[in-house]
Amino acid sequence: MLALGAAGTAAASSGGAMYVATPKIKAVKCVSRCVRGGAVRSGGKIKLRGASLSDVKKVVFRGGRGSRDDVPVKVQSASDRSLAVAVPMRAQSGPVDAWAGKRVHATSSTSVRVVPPAAPTPNPRLTPAPGPADAGAPSLETATSRSLFAIDQRGGVTFSFRLGSVPAASVSVNLVRLDDGAVIQTFNPAVPTSGDVARVSWDGMIGGQPAPNGRYAFRMEAVAAGGAKAVNAAAGDIQRDAFDLRPALFPVRGRHNFGQGAARFGAGRAGHTHQGQDVLARCGTPLIAARGGVVKAKKYQSAAGYYLIIDGTGTGTDYGYMHMAAPSAYNVGDRVYTGDQIGVVGDTGDATACHLHFEEWSAPGWYSGGQPFDPLADLRAWDAYS
Ligand SMILES: [Zn+2]
């Protein structure tokens, strides 16, 4: 298709010059699985309205800060003025980009609010698997240790299974990303003796990198010698032995709020600006590491009180926790995992109320060349699911 426009960009192609018109997004509307207030449930559909949309090949749900949570979707429209886009399960709220060619894109002026699907049903203890089974197939009980799994949480996520009295000739377990059905990892556990529990675990990494946010599930089959097969979940089941993978957990484990303007990042302070976000909570409320890593600093300071800085493993980001009631039990150099308790909320240092002062610093980190950035969007996102 050839589209000519003043704002077009020439791109070389084997047949000569081709002009890709710059798309325009004028409005974004939910058209399927809509939620009141204009939001869309993941798995639903949105429609972009605008101009030159027929050249758009890819739409990216940008989510929050940074590119790690970006989710691209292949698209095609016969119309220049409207483009339907399926909302993947792992898409997060944020603006969307519409790409025509490699260099030409438009960004929506507003955020698309994406409401995640209902959380997976927790199944931490072995229960009879509901998936379909042939007559004469082994009976199957399965369990999944977590339904919410944050990167770098201790122990990863573990899938367990037990076979009934009919022996299996073979078993296989796949870890599947439910957004697109991709098999992330295949496990080939030995066939356990009837009544014994077998286990496989995943650490949330793919090729040494944290896997993208989203919903994953263990999919198992057990086959009897005669070929009769049982599986743990029906096709399309997004609940059974499923878990949501997330980048971090909310650090304050109790009632809390984000205060008023003075609690915000960038608020004025005597001689400086506020470098973090305050989270108000009662003194004594447990504090956990939002993201695991290595302790970079542990000190007392007249303004920050007792504080702890964790260099988030694999993130480039440093995380700071200030005004703790007492020194953390962790020391410089210690490895802390996501979700480990690092202390409790206090009001040590220059604090007029009990609260956590939370900071995030870009690479290479806290007072080592990085810059503090506003952590409120991350805090709100983590608070929404944990
Ligand atoms: Zn503060």
Tokens of 355: 């609260």
SS (H, E, C) 81-123: CEEEEECCCCCCCECEEEEECCCEEEECCCCECEECCCCCCCE
More confident residue, 3 or 169: 169
pLDDT of amino acid 17: 56
Alpha carbon of 294 to ligand 1 centroid (Å): 23
Alpha carbon of 293 to ligand 1 centroid (Å): 22
Rounded mean pLDDT, 243-267: 96
Rounded mean pLDDT, 219-227: 97
Alpha carbon of 263 to ligand 1 centroid (Å): 6
Residue entry with tokens 């890819």: 58
Phi then psi for residue 384, to 5 deg, are -70, -25
pLDDT of amino acid 223: 97
Rounded mean pLDDT, 149-166: 96
Tokens of 161: 């299974």
Question: How far, in Å, CA of 366 to CA of 361, rounded?
Answer: 6
Is the pLDDT at 365 greater than 90, yes or no? yes
Question: How far, in Å, CA of 360 to CA of 363, rounded?
Answer: 10
Mean pLDDT of the chain: 92
Q: What is the DSSP string of 145-181?
A: S-SEEETTBTT-EEEEEEE-SSPPSEEEEEEEETTT-
Alpha carbon of 338 to ligand 1 centroid (Å): 22
pLDDT of amino acid 119: 87
Phi then psi for residue 54, to 5 deg, are -75, -20
pLDDT of amino acid 279: 98
CA angle 49, 52, 54 (to 5 degrees): 90
How many CB atoms neighbour CB 80 within 10 A? 18
Rounded mean pLDDT, 317-335: 98
Rounded mean pLDDT, 45-69: 92
Rounded mean pLDDT, 203-219: 92
Phi then psi for residue 323, to 5 deg, are 70, 25
What DSSP designation does 129 have?
-
Q: What percent of the chain has pLDDT over 90?
A: 80
pLDDT of amino acid 2: 37
Is the pLDDT at 164 greater than 90, yes or no? yes
Alpha carbon of 277 to ligand 1 centroid (Å): 6
Alpha carbon of 350 to ligand 1 centroid (Å): 9
Q: How confident is the model at residue 97 (pLDDT cuts 50, 70, 90)?
A: very high
pLDDT of amino acid 29: 95
Q: How far is CA 159 from CA 196, 200, 339, in A?
A: 14, 5, 20
pLDDT of amino acid 317: 96
pLDDT of amino acid 68: 74
Alpha carbon of 255 to ligand 1 centroid (Å): 18
Task: Give the least confident one: 16-25, 63-72, 105-114, 299-308.
Answer: 16-25
pLDDT of amino acid 116: 79
Q: In order of start, what are the domains of the chain with their CATH numbers?
A: 22-115 (2.70.50.70), 123-246 (2.60.40.4070), 261-385 (2.70.70.10)
Is the pLDDT at 257 greater than 70, yes or no? yes
pLDDT of amino acid 5: 38
Alpha carbon of 347 to ligand 1 centroid (Å): 11
User: Could you report the per-residue pLDDT of 288-312, keeping only the tens digit for each?
Assistant: 999 999 999 999 999 999 999 999 9
| pTM (2 d.p.) | 0.77
Q: What is the DSSP string of 19-61?
A: EEPPPEEEEEEEEEEEETTTEEEEEEEEEEEEESGGG--EEEE
Is the pLDDT at 320 greater than 60, yes or no? yes
Is the pLDDT at 3 greater than 60, yes or no? no
Alpha carbon of 330 to ligand 1 centroid (Å): 22
Is the pLDDT at 66 greater than 60, yes or no? yes
Tokens of 316: 């480039």
pLDDT of amino acid 13: 43
Alpha carbon of 343 to ligand 1 centroid (Å): 17
Phi-psi region of 244 (alpha: psi -120 to 50; beta: other; left: phi over 0): beta
Tokens of 83: 């483009």
Alpha carbon of 276 to ligand 1 centroid (Å): 6
